[in-house]
Structure 1
Amino acid sequence: MQEVIRGLLRGAKRGVMTSKKGRHFYKGNRTGSMGSHTKHGSYVVDLSKVRTYVVPDLTSCELRPYVSHRSDKFKVDPCSAAAFTAVE
């Protein structure tokens, strides 16, 4: 019976694992590495690991990135099951 009580108390101490808890635990921040450390203490960036974003040319696009607060409010009718099953 004492083992059960001891197990319940041990389980009650466990919370969210953070980088502040645990001796040899490094949670990280999901950023990944962009290179490697050298034996002299410097850091070498590997360009194949660097994130690059491909953005299309939007010069002739009529859309704007933001909606003005002065735009008119509009109401959308709720969708029904018949609207999804209707064949045109």
Structure 2
Amino acid sequence: MPENISHSVNSTNLADILERVLDKGIVIAGDIKIQIADIDLLTIKIRLLVASVDKAKEIGINWWQEDTFLSSTAHESELKLQNKELLERIEKLEAANKS
């Protein structure tokens, strides 16, 4: 009588892999250098970080929060600063005209 042999198969689907990558993060780095006769013509450094937003914040990466193109809050802050500077310039010009 043959013994019962049980096999355990760990199946990993794409969602599990993506969850692990986003949770831990992954960095891909590479350099492209174009040279002619030992003279560097062009060097491109490529760095790619794939992580969740929470993980990125945890490691101190939050550039998208301060980019006025990507963040409406940053855009509003930039507009308020520009408005303040313009009002100060107008006050100076008006004060100079009164003298």
Structure with the largest fraction of strand: 2
Specify the TM-score bucket, using the shorter chain as the normaliser.
Answer: under 0.3
Structure with the largest fraction of helix: 2
TM-score if structure 1 supplies the norm length?
0.23
Higher relative contact order (CA 8 A, sep 6+): 2
